[in-house]
Every structure is written in C-alpha cells, then in structure tokens.
Chain A
Amino acid sequence: MAETPLRKRRLIDPHIHMVSRTTDDYQAMANAGVVAVIEPAFWTGQPRTEIGTFKDYFSCLVGFERFRASQFGIKHYCTIGLNSKEANNEALAEEVIELLPRFAGKEGVVAIGEIGYDEMTKAEEKFFRIQLELAKEMDLPVMIHTPHRNKKVGTSRSMDVCMEHGIPPSKVVIDHNNEETCKEVLDRGFWAAFTIYPKTKMGNQRMVDIAKRYGSDRVIVDSSADWGNSDALAVPKTANLMITSGISEAAVDAMCYGNALLAYGQSGQMKESDWLDAAVIDPKREFEGNSLLRGGGPEAPEDSRLIV
C-alpha cells in the first residue's frame, strides 16, 4: 500500500521511551513536527536487581536524555515512578519508593508514572497506592499503565483505586486503551490515551475509527515506542491518517498535541512557551565537537520551531 507522505504539524508524543531509541529517531521525529516528548519511567526489559540502577535510570531521564533530545530541538519531559512489573520485587520496590521523592520534584517531571497494574498482584496494588499518595503530596498528575492481560478489569480497577485515593479524574491519564476500555474511561472523566503499536495495542486505522466515534475530547495519541517493535513516528503518522480520513484539523491538534499539554501541563512543569520561545538552534554551538552528532548536525529545518 502506498504511504501517504507525512504532513508536518506541531505534535507532542506524550509517551515514548527515548532511552532505547536512536538519534535517527529523534531526527525523524523533529522533521515530522514533534516538538516535545514525555518519557515515562518504566522497566528496561531486563529486570533490575539493584537500587543503584534505578537511581541512574531516573538520573538519565532528567539529565542525559533531556540533553540528547535538545540537540534535535525537541523538549524532553519525563514521569517518575515504579512500574508495576518491578513492583513485584518487594524488597527492591521499597527502596525505589524511598528514592522517588528525590526525583519527583525536579524540573520537567510532569507526572508520577507510569504506574498501575501488570498482573494485579498484592505487591502491585500496594506500590500503586503508595505512589498515588506521592502524586497527591507532590500535586502531580498520574500516568496509568493499564495491563495487557485482563485489561478491561485492570483498567476499571485502576480508576476505582484513583478515586478511592481522592485523585480527581482530570489529573489522571489512563494509557494503552482500546475499543473495549475507552468508553468507561471517558465516561468517568479520565483522560484516555491510546498507544499506536503497529501490530499489538492499537493500529492507527483503528484509532481513526475511535476518534470518529468518541470525538477528541480528553483523547490522547502516543507511540509508547521503546526497545521492542514500535514506531517512533506513530503520532505523526496517525495525525496524518486522521486528516486524510476527514477528521478536522482542530480535533487532530487536540489528540496529537493540545490534550497532552493540558493534561500534563497541570504539573506546572510543561508550558507551550517552553518550545515556542526556545532560542533558535544554533548548530555551531550545539552540534559540534564530541557531541552526539559528532560534527554532523541535523539538516537545518527551514523553520527551527518546526511549525508548518
């Protein structure tokens, strides 16, 4: 099938694990109009066995990865949290919980996340609740990872637990939705995020159908691209497909840009001016020497703000 060429528009990918992506991805995302990304703390494939590896991972999210993104003119934000899979190593999880406040208040941390359920074990439940309390204490939004297995029940229960802790739905993004979960999420007033994975979670043709059915209010599109089979251009591609499928510009902007900004902007750590006011990238200052681009530098965009 012939690919429709990507249309360049201002986009946010509010869920992407850039630590496992290459500079080619950053370049392609910048070229496609992505101005900001949110990188949720998650697991890294290989289960961690030491607290120090968590510490360095969190430091990387607020340090080196932020710098890497900046070299391509992309603003990098992150969420901090203990993921549900690794919550099952209880002794280690206790140590991670102790570590979280040290990172949760840093600049550019826009939520506690991604947290929630994997197998819905007791340990997962315990650390999910502890982190909801942390979000409350820090006055931060929450990013919920919904489970792959037993998804519908896990999604409902995630919302129930948020309500039990007195967290308003307007401060919670429920991620990895599908046709079966999104109605309840939207009906209950939560943000509903959709991960566009080529073969598993949600294809972008299905996303178009969902957008047509439910509208754009509180709907968010992301890639969740990581070290597995995923697509760092999922948001631009989906935006493009939506437009060619007759969804309005305003609705596409909401789902692929504005809603993420509204939801995570509640942290006070993410403002549109962060990228609109950013200085014009000076390739000479930023890209030379032993920086990541090693003298190469990206092709200079005609408009460094990447706005069409």
Chain B
Amino acid sequence: MSAQTLLLDWLKARLTPEALAWLEEKAALIATGAPEKTVFTTFSSCIRYSGKAPLNLESAALKAAGSEVPGWNPSDWTCDQAARAFLLTSLPPGPGSAATLGRLWQTADVGEAVALQKSLAVLANPEGQMPWAREAIRSNIKAVFEAITLRNPYPALHFDNVGWNQMVVKTFFVDSPMHEIEGLDRRVNPPLARMLADLAHERWAAGRAFSPQLWRCVGPCADERALEDLKKLLGSAAPTEKRAAALALKSCPDPRAATILEADPALAAAARDGSLTWENL
C-alpha cells in the first residue's frame, strides 16, 4: 500500500466511472513526463470531474492513512483534494517535478492552494517543497494557512524552529485550533515558549481574551517569568485558566514548577493522574 494507492481507493468509491477514468488517464500521462502545461491544466480542471464533496473517510481508512504516513490525518479532505493529491503523487521523481510544483503553487487558485498544502503530507522530495510550504504560513487566506498547519505532518517533520514557531504563534493569532497541529508537543522549544508568553502579556495588556491552550507550549520550557505567570493563573478564579496552568506546570521539568503546583493539590493530582488533559481542558 502506498499513499497513492490509498487515495485512488478512496476515489474509486466516490467518483463516477467516467471521472475516475479521466483521472487515471491523466495521472498516467503525468507519470510518463507529460508537458508541464498538461500538469497545470489537469490540476485545474480536475475539480470538474471530482467535485468537492467531503471524503468522509471511515475510521479504518484514517487508520490506514496514519500507518502509511505517520501523522497524516485526511479526516477533513474533500474529493478534489484527494484527486489533486493523487495527480501530484504521479509526478515522476526529480528536480523537474519539484520545480513544476513550485510553479503550480505560484498561480494556484484558493482551492488549488489548499490541495497543494494538504498534499505535502504525501509528496516525495519534501525539502524541495519547503519554500511554498513556508509561504502558506505567511498567507492571510485562512483556509490556506490551516491546510499546512492543521492535521498535516509536514511542518513538524521539516520546518526548522524559525518556521515552526511562526506557525504555532500565528495559529494562536488567527484563532485556529492549536490542538490540531501535528507534533505540537514534540516540537516545543524555549524561543517558542517565550514568544507565546509575550503574546499572553500583550493580550493581557490589551484586555483581550485568548485560548489557555497557549500555555501548553510554554510549560515544558517555562522560564522564570512564565513560572510567575503560571503561578498567578493557578491562583486565579478562572477555572479553565487554572486547569491549563496545572497542566503546564506539570509538564515543566524545573523543580520550582512542582512546588508551585502543590498550591492546588486537587488540580495537581488531576494533572498527574491523567484525568485532566489538554484535550478535555
């Protein structure tokens, strides 16, 4: 089984025989080095054959995706995205295809841009796609930003800390669901913790609310100021903030964190025994 085979299987169950025949014929052309113009026009017109209904993959299919490509979660994929990813996985390996992908990105419409970013989960030559993966983090089009940021294994595997940290902080900034970032806990680092704590202070100064999930990436690398913040939050009256502080303190290796956490024995116990998690915060 390859990602390409999985995509084709899902499409077989959802597309009309005519649409499927068109797609397979075009994929075969692309695989044998069709002119770039064919790749461009096929990638664009694909949606006319595939439609854009949700794939609605059953749990077995999602499991197969995750075991084929660790972290790949196509639970929100649509038929056009699967069909476009299938076409892209047909590109012959090599620098020529990487350049073609870059040019596809340059002139992509919104739907194509989203499909390209989601396809990064299954494309070969990950380093070659880095420039446009990073560009999507800079996009103001939320759908494009979320296509690379959420439920996509590419950033955690390939972004350096500069790119990763910008992505995570922007996720907060635009109120996207942070817990849907693949590899979030794995990629915590001190500069990210500091940037997020700065953001928390900015929001407090402005009197603006923010998701307490923010502390999830602060806790493991909390510095002195962050420990003070968490101490204050743990003693605050806001229940969600208190719980977030408890979880963040529990994740912090600094022995001072454990001492602070003891101020609320009930929450400390819940954080330690696993009954309180970031998911059920």
* Interface residue ranges, A against B (CB under 8 Å): 55, 58-59, 62-64, 66-67, 101-103, 105-108, 268, 284-286, 288-292
Contact = CB atoms under 8 A, between A and B. Distances in A.
Chain A residues touching B, majority SS: helix
Nearest to B48: A268
Interface string B232-249: 000000000000000000
A289 B109 contact: no
Contact of B112 (A101, A106, A288, A292): A106
A290 B113 CA distance: 19
A270 to B, nearest CB: 13
A74 to B, nearest CB: 14
B175 A102 contact: no
A49 B82 CA distance: 38
Q: 9 closest A-B pairs (Cβ-Cβ)?
A: A289-B174, A62-B109, A105-B44, A67-B141, A105-B45, A106-B44, A106-B109, A288-B175, A102-B40
Interface in B97-132: 106-113
A101 B45 CA distance: 11
Contacts of A285: 142, 175
Contacts of B111: 107
B112 A102 contact: no
Contacts of B112: 106-107
B174 A107 contact: no
16 contacts: A55-B106, A58-B107, A63-B109, A63-B110, A63-B113, A63-B141, A64-B141, A101-B37, A101-B41, A102-B41, A105-B45, A108-B109, A268-B48, A288-B175, A290-B174, A291-B174
Contacts, number: 64
Contact of A288 (B45, B48, B174): B174
Interface string B151-176: 00000000000000000001001110
Given A67-B140, A102-B40, A289 B175 contact: yes
Contacts of A284: 175
B18 to A, nearest CB: 15
Nearest to B146: A285
A55 B141 CA distance: 19
Given A62-B110, A103-B44, A107-B47, 12 more contacts: A55-B106, A59-B106, A63-B108, A63-B109, A101-B40, A106-B109, A108-B109, A285-B175, A288-B175, A290-B140, A290-B174, A291-B140
Nearest to A101: B41
A55 B140 contact: no
Nearest to A108: B109
Given A102-B37, A105-B41, A105-B45, A286 B142 contact: yes
A110 to B, nearest CB: 13
B71 to A, nearest CB: 24
Interface residues of B, number: 23
Contacts of B173: 289-290
A135 B224 CA distance: 66
A103 to B, nearest CB: 7
A107 B45 CA distance: 7
Contacts of A103: 44, 107
A289 B169 CA distance: 11
A136 B155 CA distance: 43
A101 B142 CA distance: 27
B47 to A, nearest CB: 5
Given A105-B45, A289-B175, A59 B141 contact: no
Contacts of B48: 268
B109 A66 contact: yes
Nearest to B80: A107
A94 to B, nearest CB: 16
Nearest to A78: B109
B103 to A, nearest CB: 9
B42 to A, nearest CB: 9
Given A67-B140, A291-B140, A107 B41 contact: no
Contacts of A64: 140-141
Nearest to A295: B208
